[in-house]
Structure formats: C-alpha cells, structure tokens
C-alpha cells in the first residue's frame, strides 16, 4: 500500500475525529443553512483497466499488473435557504483523485448544482435545477489504455406540478443534458439531449400513486450524426403503498425511436420495470426488482442495445449505529438493430455485480464505510470479458 496515500487517509480521519470534539453540536447551530462535508476514500482495484483474463500486461501496459489504488479527498459545501414558499438549495464539491500506478489518470473534479423549489401558489409548484458533474469514464466502455478520459455532464431542468383539487395532478417539464468526453467512446460520445414531457397523476390517501407521462426526446451527437435520434415514450406507472411496510413500483413504457441519418436503425419496443421494497423495521429492508431498458448504441454491428437486469439488495441493521448491505445485480445486454456490416453472431454481454457494504454512523456528522465489490462481464465476442475485485474504505465528516 502506498505510504503517502495511507498518511493522507489517516490525516483526514483524524481531522474528522478532532472536528467532533471541537465542533460539538455544530459550528453555527443546529439549524445552520450552511453545511460543510469532507470525505476521504481509499480504493484498491485489481483490474482497473478491465482487461480480459490472460492479458500480457507487461507487453500491453509496460507494467506487471493492471491493479491500482486511488486516494480521493473531497470537500463539499451545501447551502439551503427557505423564504416563504420558496426554497433555494446550492451545493459545490471539489475533489482530488490520485492513482498510485497509473498516474496519467490523476484528475481534479468540480461538481456544482443549484435548485429552486418554487411555488406560485400551494397548488402550483415545481423545481428549477442546474447541475454539473465531472467523472472518469469506465474502461469497460472506453478502450484507450494510455489516456485519461474525463466525462463532464451538465443538466438543466424544470419540473412543474399543478394540483387540480382532490387527488388529481397535472405534470410537465423540460430538460437539456450535455455530455462531453476527453476521448471518443466506442458508441455515442459527446451529445446533447433535449427532453419535454407532460402527464397526469392520481394520488390516493394511502400514498398510492398512478401516473401517465408522454415524453419527447431529441438527441444530437457531435462525432457521429448517425447516432442522432428522435424518441417518443409513453409511460404508465404505479407506485403502490401496501400494508406491512411494503411498497411496489411498476412501470411500462412504449418507446419509438427514429434515426434521421440511419433509418434502418429505427425501433419500436416496450420497456418495463418492477421493484418491491419491504421495510422490516429500523434500517433493515429488502429490495428486489427487474427492468428492461433500451438505449441507442450505434456502431458497425448494432443500432441499439437492450438491457435486462435482475437485482436483490437486503439491508440489515446489525447494531444501533451499524448497517450491513448486500447487493447482487445480474444483467444481459443484447446489441440489436441494423448492422452496417453483416455479422453471423450478434454481440451479447452478461454482467454480474456483487457488493457488500458495512456502514458505521457514529452520529449524523461522522460516518465510516467499508466496501467489497466484485464485477464480471462475460461476452460471446473475444476480448470483451473481464473480472474485477475492489476494496474500499471511506470516512465522511459533516459540520
């Protein structure tokens, strides 16, 4: 383990512990509108670059292994202000991320967001929000092994709800999402998504909600205009509150997607999702579900991808301040649609992700978590499979 990384991690933990003793109930009172949070995490990944088993790492990377460890130190400021029926929320976070072996991946992240929870009247309200995030693209989607590939996402959205009286609601909204990457991706890449939606909802006194929503999406890609698409989606959703702390969430959507520059890639499909959350008391619960989704994936061998996912995530409260969470995801991705070059065997990936998270929350301000995660991808095409095991420990302190 990198001694310098360990020293930084221990220094952050000690600073948080000292802050507990020094700050007491908080540096500006219990109802302070400004909160400051520091977090430090140390992650070890035995296959950071997601290479297939048997890869000669010396020949390909000039290193004996694809394993690496990352130290991340982050500082976040959050401000909340309530003025009458209006609520303003602002947050900003900066992070320094350092890798021990693959130093070219070192980067600094700067995330920020602002949200106005507005109300014209008690019956007419909504949200106006702006967000910006910076992250690294995963090497499961990016094949360049010598260059850092940062992703910047910017989102602007407005949502509105009009209470018609009684249980009925009118819903509407619009958003724009921009994504830019330092390096090209296998499919897609830099793009802008513009979205509009409108719908209606009905809420029962028990908390059950049924809603219908129509959404129009227009996507424009910078690198490949063949990826551009127009999409219409109609969704019916039921959020069902049952006795005994049970909650069911079911949705089904009719998706029609057209590609102006590649009409043979057009498709009409039905997506769906279903989940069951059972609260067992305290912080213990069981979540399980299934989903089928579709996304554009324009390459020489496909025009879209279908992803089927099953998951289960039990959580146990093993002590007054300690919780243990397990999660198992299993998904299959099929690359479908028009192929520019005829292929005998369409690509198919099978993914399995398993994680164990142990969290200790001393109080609302100080928390420590330890995570073990295993990710595997099997593919029917050579060179796309990988296995990765990650260990991480993180500490957060808020004051």
pLDDT greater at residue 74 or residue 189: 74
Global confidence as pTM: 0.85
At 156, the pLDDT band (50, 70, 90 cuts) reads: very high
H runs (alpha helix) in the chain: 3-23, 57-61
At 188, the pLDDT band (50, 70, 90 cuts) reads: low
**Angle of CA points 71, 131, 184, to nearest 5°:** 65
Which DSSP helix (H) or strand (E) runs through 309?
Answer: strand 304-319
CA dist., res. 287 & res. 303, Å (int): 33
Nearest C-alpha neighbor of 211 from the set 156, 253, 245? 253
How many Å separate Cα 170 from the centre of its chain?
Answer: 28
pLDDT recorded at residue 24: 46
Q: Which of these ranges, 39-48, 113-122, 218-227, has the smallest mean pLDDT?
A: 218-227
Averaged pLDDT for residues 312-319: 94
CB 128 within 8 A of CB 110: no
What radius of gyration do the chain's Cα atoms show? Answer: 23
Query: In sequence order, what DSSP letters do the residues of 156-218 get, joined into one string?
Result: EEEEEEEEEETTEEEEEEEEEEEEEESS--SS--SEEEEEEEEEEEEE-TTS-EEEEEEEEEE
Phi then psi for residue 57, to 5 deg, are: -70, -30
At 252, the pLDDT band (50, 70, 90 cuts) reads: very high
CB 299 within 8 A of CB 347: no
User: CB-based contacts of 209: which residues, under 8 Å, 6+ apart?
Assistant: 201, 202, 203, 237, 238, 239
pLDDT tens digits along 278-300: 998 777 899 999 999 998 887 88
pLDDT recorded at residue 21: 44
The pLDDT of residue 8 is above 70:
no
Q: Which residues pair with 60 in a beta bridge?
A: none
Phi then psi for residue 345, to 5 deg, are: -125, 105
**Angle of CA points 369, 98, 133, to nearest 5°:** 75
């Amino acid at each position: 383990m990198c001694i310098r990384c360990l020293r930084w991690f221990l220094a952050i933990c000690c600073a948080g512990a000292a802050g507990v003793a020094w700050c007491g109930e908080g540096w500006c009172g219990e109802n302070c509108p400004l909160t400051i949070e520091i977090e430090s995490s140390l992650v070890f990944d035995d296959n950071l670059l997601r290479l297939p088993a048997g890869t000669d790492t010396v020949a390909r990377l000039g290193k004996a292994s694809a394993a690496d460890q990352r130290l991340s130190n982050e500082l976040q400021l959050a401000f909340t202000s309530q003025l009458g029926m209006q609520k303003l929320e602002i947050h900003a976070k900066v992070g320094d991320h350092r890798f021990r072996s693959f130093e070219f991946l070192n980067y600094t992240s700067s995330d920020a967001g602002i949200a106005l929870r507005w109300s014209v009247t008690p019956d007419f309200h909504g949200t106006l929000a702006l967000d910006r995030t910076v992250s690294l693209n995963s090497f499961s989607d990016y094949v360049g092994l010598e260059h850092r590939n940062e992703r910047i996402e910017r989102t602007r959205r407005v949502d509105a709800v009009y209470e018609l009286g009684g249980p009925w609601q009118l819903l509407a909204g619009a958003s724009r999402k921009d994504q830019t990457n330092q390096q090209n991706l296998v499919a897609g890449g830099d793009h802008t998504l513009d979205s509009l939606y409108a719908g209606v909802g009905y809420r029962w006194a028990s908390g059950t909600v049924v809603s219908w929503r129509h959404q129009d999406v227009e996507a424009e890609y910078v690198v490949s205009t063949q990826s551009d698409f127009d999409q219409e989606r109609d969704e019916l959703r039921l959020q069902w509150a049952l006795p005994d702390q049970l909650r069911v969430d079911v949705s089904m959507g009719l998706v029609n997607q057209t590609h102006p520059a590649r009409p043979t890639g057009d498709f009409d499909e039905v997506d769906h999702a279903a989940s069951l959350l059972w609260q067992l008391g305290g912080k213990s619960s069981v979540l399980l579900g299934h989903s089928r989704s579709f996304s554009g994936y324009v390459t020489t061998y496909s025009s879209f991808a279908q992803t089927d996912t099953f998951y289960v995530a039990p959580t146990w409260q093993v002590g007054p301040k300690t919780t243990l969470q397990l999660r198992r995801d299993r998904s299959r991705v099929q690359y479908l649609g028009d192929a520019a070059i005829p292929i005998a065997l369409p690509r198919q990936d099978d993914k399995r992700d398993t994680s164990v998270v142990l969290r200790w929350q001393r109080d609302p301000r100080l928390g420590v978590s330890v995570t073990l995660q295993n990710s595997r991808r099997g593919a029917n095409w050579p060179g796309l499979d990988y296995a990765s095991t990650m260990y991480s420990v993180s500490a957060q302190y808020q004051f």
